[in-house]
């Protein structure tokens, strides 16, 4: 079964969010972009829909979480190497992200995390499975 994943995240300022994620190297599918939302391409099967808060509210009856005060989701991106982890995290920090947690370097797991400009937590990690048996 082929499944595409769409992560929906509320943002306060869509243009600011697009500028931030563009600085990290992500692209956007213009077919699904207007003044209310944009479709950020993470990979061929993974996307993040960035929706301005008033538009996001149309999709839920619940209160929105202020990601600067509470956490509802951790978005984790598995990368191909430690160097890619360092590169993407470095771009995020240069674009204004704040560290979320201490860097992780535990055997086969290596990662860094950051708060994007709206406070959502992104974890970028590499998992070296070559030494793991099971």
Structural domains in the chain, sorted by start: 5-127 (3.10.180.10)
Q: Which residues contact 22 (CB under 8 A, 6 or more apart)?
A: 28
Q: Looking at the predicted structure, is the pLDDT value of residue 131 above 70?
A: no
Sign of the Cα torsion 74, 75, 80, 83 reads: negative
Q: How confident is the model over 18-43, as a mean pLDDT?
A: 98
Predicted confidence band of residue 134 (pLDDT cuts 50, 70, 90): low
DSSP state of 2: -
- Tell me the HSE value of 117 on the side-chain side, using a 13 A CA sphere: 19
Predicted confidence band of residue 78 (pLDDT cuts 50, 70, 90): very high
SS3 111: strand
Sign of the Cα torsion 45, 50, 120, 93 reads: positive
How far apart are alpha carbons 104 and 20 in whole angstroms? 24
């Amino acid at each position: 079964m082929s499944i595409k994943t769409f992560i929906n995240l509320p943002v306060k300022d869509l243009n600011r969010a697009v500028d931030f994620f563009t600085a990290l190297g992500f692209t956007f599918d213009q077919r699904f972009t207007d003044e209310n939302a944009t479709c950020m391409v993470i990979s061929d099967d993974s996307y993040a829909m960035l929706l301005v808060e008033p538009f996001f509210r149309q999709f839920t009856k619940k209160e929105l979480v202020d990601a600067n005060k509470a956490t509802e989701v951790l978005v984790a991106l598995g990368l191909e190497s430690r160097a890619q982890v360092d590169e993407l995290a470095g771009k995020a920090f240069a674009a204004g992200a704040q560290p979320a947690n201490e860097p992780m370097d535990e055997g086969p797991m290596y990662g860094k995390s950051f708060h994007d400009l709206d406070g959502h937590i992104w974890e970028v990690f590499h998992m070296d499975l070559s030494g793991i048996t099971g």
